[in-house]
């Protein structure tokens, strides 16, 4: 190819390129690598995958709702809770603590979670706090083992398994097990709910702050609900027993009025 350069000029240009570091001749014409490369041809885009369906198998709360809805009686509900695999508390607990008292009693007490004694025996409110609760109920003529259902109570907790070191239940744990608690209330058929402590108020009222909530009637799951101090709190704070006694009298008056 005639480049318009004589032999001497071409040699001088080649020597100059060698001095700059060129080692191989690749093309007849130089390529400016700083020029923008032409856009690559567009590739066909694969259609976006449709979002996965929201099924109980990949959602612990949805699975709890399905399991709870399928329980037709209290025995089936307990079995469904025992089979529920997603709450890690079960791994460190000795027993599932389901309930105590008389199903169908007019009052259903909802506590927070089992403690050491409850975890060992598999029944709610059997330790010091439970013994104090029994004395509180006896003062207004109520017992968990009363022969007459009209004077009995039914007792459960928000969580059926003991949290490590009796720590406060987390919001995730409450949300995960709330479907079972709702079904529990439906199957137990109480007329009044007593919510003892912050966890039960958070679960069924969506609010906490027991010192503000206690003694004021509210509604949970379509039933009258009375927040009260937890007996364990009263053992630590004896000065609050006056308010607890006032709440018990309020509960007694409501029960008498309800017939």
pLDDT above 70: percentage of residues in the chain: 77
* Residue of 147, 235, 138, 221 lying closest to 183 (CA atoms): 221
Q: Is the model more confident about 99 or about 34?
A: 99
Residue 45 has a pLDDT of 52
CA–CA dist 258, 247 (Å, integer): 16
Rounded to 10 degrees, what is the CA torsion of 171, 177, 180, 184? -60
- The predicted-structure confidence for 25-76, as pLDDT tens digits, reads as follows 665 655 555 555 555 555 555 444 444 444 555 799 999 999 999 999 999 9
Residue 20 has a pLDDT of 61
Helix (H, G, I), strand (E, B) or coil at 193: strand
Alpha helices by DSSP H, listed for the chain, are 7-20, 60-69, 74-83, 89-92, 116-121, 128-138, 171-188, 198-205, 210-213, 231-236, 241-258
Residue 50 has a pLDDT of 44
Q: Which two tokens stand for residue 132?
A: 């104090």
Average pLDDT over residues 103-109: 97
Residue 127 has a pLDDT of 94
Q: Confidence class of residue 149 from pLDDT cuts 50, 70 and 90?
A: confident
Residue 51 has a pLDDT of 41
Angle (CA) 223 229 230, round 5°: 95
Q: Is the model more confident about 23 or about 93?
A: 93
Helix (H, G, I), strand (E, B) or coil at 116: helix
Over the chain, what is the mean pLDDT?
Answer: 87
Instruction: Kindly tell me if the per-residue pLDDT of 5 is higher than 90.
Output: no
Which helix H or strand E contains 101, and what residues bound it?
A: strand 100-101
Residue 84 has a pLDDT of 97
Would you give the end-to-end CA distance of the chain in angstroms? 114
Instruction: Kindly tell me if the per-residue pLDDT of 136 is higher than 80.
Output: yes
Average pLDDT over residues 216-229: 98
Give the global pTM. Answer: 0.77
Q: Confidence class of residue 152 from pLDDT cuts 50, 70 and 90?
A: very high
- The predicted-structure confidence for 164-179, as pLDDT tens digits, reads as follows 999 999 999 999 999 9
Helix (H, G, I), strand (E, B) or coil at 155: strand
Residue 14 has a pLDDT of 67
Residue with tokens 């709360």: 61
Q: How many CB atoms lie within 10 A of CB 240?
A: 16
Residue 239 has a pLDDT of 97
Residue 147 has a pLDDT of 86
CA–CA dist 248, 214 (Å, integer): 11
- Supply φ then ψ for residue 173, to 5 degrees: -65, -40
Q: How many CB atoms lie within 10 A of CB 18?
A: 10
220: β partners:
223
Average pLDDT over residues 240-245: 97
Instruction: Kindly tell me if the per-residue pLDDT of 258 is higher than 90.
Output: no
CA–CA dist 143, 153 (Å, integer): 6
Residue 12 has a pLDDT of 67
Average pLDDT over residues 161-166: 94
Residue 257 has a pLDDT of 81
């Amino acid at each position: 190819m005639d480049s318009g350069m004589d032999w001497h000029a071409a040699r001088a240009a080649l020597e100059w390129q060698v001095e700059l570091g060129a080692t191989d001749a690749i093309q007849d014409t130089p390529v400016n690598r700083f020029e923008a490369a032409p856009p690559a041809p567009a590739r066909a885009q694969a259609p976006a995958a449709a979002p996965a369906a929201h099924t109980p198998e990949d959602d612990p709360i949805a699975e709890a709702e399905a399991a709870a809805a399928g329980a037709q009686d209290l025995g089936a509900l307990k079995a469904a809770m025992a089979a529920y695999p997603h709450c890690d508390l079960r791994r460190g607990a000795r027993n599932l603590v389901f309930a105590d008292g008389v199903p169908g009693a007019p009052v259903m007490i909802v506590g927070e979670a089992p403690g050491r004694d409850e975890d060992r025996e598999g029944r709610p409110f059997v330790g010091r706090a439970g013994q104090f609760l029994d004395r509180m109920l006896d003062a207004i003529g109520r017992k968990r083992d009363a022969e007459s259902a009209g004077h009995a109570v039914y007792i459960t907790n928000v969580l059926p398994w003991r949290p490590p070191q009796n720590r406060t239940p987390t919001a995730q744990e409450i949300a995960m097990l709330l479907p079972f608690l709702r079904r529990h209330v439906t199957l137990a058929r109480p007329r009044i709910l007593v919510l003892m402590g912050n966890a039960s108020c958070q679960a069924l009222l969506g609010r906490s702050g027991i010192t503000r909530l206690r003694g004021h009637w509210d509604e949970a799951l379509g039933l009258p609900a009375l927040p009260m101090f937890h007996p364990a709190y009263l053992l630590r704070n004896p000065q609050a027993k006056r308010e607890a006694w006032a709440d018990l009298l309020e509960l007694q008056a409501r029960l008498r009025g309800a017939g």
